[in-house]
Amino acid sequence: MAKKVRKAVIPAAGFGTRFLPATKAQPKEMLPIVDKPIIQYVVEQAVESGIEQIIIVTGWHKRAIEDHFDRHFELEARLASTGKKKELQEIRRISDLAEFIYVRQKEPLGNGHAVLVAKEVIGDEPFAVMWGDEFIYADPPALAQLLSVFEKYQTPVISGVRIENKKDLSKYGIAQVKPVENGIFQIAKIVEKPQPAAAPSNLAAHCNYILTPEIFDILENIKPGRGGEIWLPEAIDVLVRKQKVLAVEIANGKYFDCGSKIGYLKTVVEFGLKHEGVNGEFRNFLKSLKL
């Protein structure tokens, strides 16, 4: 019997050192894109795709994430008393998005280890993995596109994004693939951050994953990689040798990498131009700059 994907794991325990000093006292996942933190975009995509339970892997310094998705009764009372109904509705909506569970990653042992610490919460169910500092903006949502493929094939699925600029291939895990059907490929292997000339394709397999519990055995037994840490891409390389793993080229989507300064700034500009409250004045401001 086909199993439904109900849970999503979002690793968010890193220190965000590329954004210091801004991230000394606040999580990088809480950096705002106009008026909404990065991680909220990720959670909203998961919920829109049908995910019911969000498992966020945090550290001792990430309490702001937990607070953001919790109720804030004093703020709600203040908004209610001042007649700010729209703002009150939005604040309450955030805490009602899904069931939130928080698991601590006590040591920075890699993104694969962050997934592994959610093992007991996941149990024997298939689950999604998303990251708290990047997302694909698509219609329908990228995760929903993966879920439809998983429902058909019942095997792990990763979102695929075409990297148009050849120089950027060295930033991603690039998949060696063979076609299965239109927009769907079977992964033979993933080459992590290859030199452009050695890249097996221009399809980066990253950002959103649908995985099955078999990944936990691999993560528990894999040897630590670079930096002495456990990395999810290396575990998936083992997985593709054991079972079929698919990549889905996301339709009508654009990838936003908020984990780097330039990627974050580009995202803020793009979403500022989409935001109904500021887009007109912001667009005029950008036009006025003598670049």
CB 248, CB 159: distance < 8 Å: yes
Percent of the chain at pLDDT exceeding 70:
99
Question: Whole-angstrom Cα distance, residue 267 to residue 127?
Answer: 27
Question: Whole-angstrom Cα distance, residue 55 to residue 117?
Answer: 10
Question: Whole-angstrom Cα distance, residue 18 to residue 198?
Answer: 28
List the domain boundaries for the chain. 7-279
pLDDT for residue 29: 95
CB 56, CB 47: distance < 8 Å: no
Question: Whole-angstrom Cα distance, residue 204 to residue 221?
Answer: 26
DSSP string, 93-134: HHHTSSEEEEEE--S---HHHHHHTTHHHHTTS-EEE--TTE
79 phi/psi in degrees, rounded to 5: -65, -40
Name the fold adopted by 7-279: Spore Coat Polysaccharide Biosynthesis Protein SpsA; Chain A (3.90.550)
Q: Running DSSP on this structure, what letter comes out for residue 3?
A: P
102-119 mean pLDDT: 92
Residue 266 host element (H or E): helix 261-274
Please count the CA atoms within 13 angstroms of the CA of 242 that sit on its side-chain side: 12
| Residue 265 pLDDT greater than 80, yes or no | yes
Helices (H), 13-62: 38-48
Here the tokens at position 198 are: 């050695």
Please give the single-letter amino acid code of residue 192: E
List, for residues 115-173, the tens digit of each pLDDT value.
Answer: 999 999 999 999 999 999 999 999 999 999 999 999 999 999 999 988 888 888 888 88
| Residue 108 pLDDT greater than 90, yes or no | no
pLDDT category at 206 given cuts 50, 70, 90 is confident
pLDDT category at 60 given cuts 50, 70, 90 is confident
pLDDT for residue 36: 95
Number of residues that this document lists for the chain: 291
| Residue 185 pLDDT greater than 70, yes or no | yes
pLDDT category at 1 given cuts 50, 70, 90 is low
pLDDT category at 255 given cuts 50, 70, 90 is very high
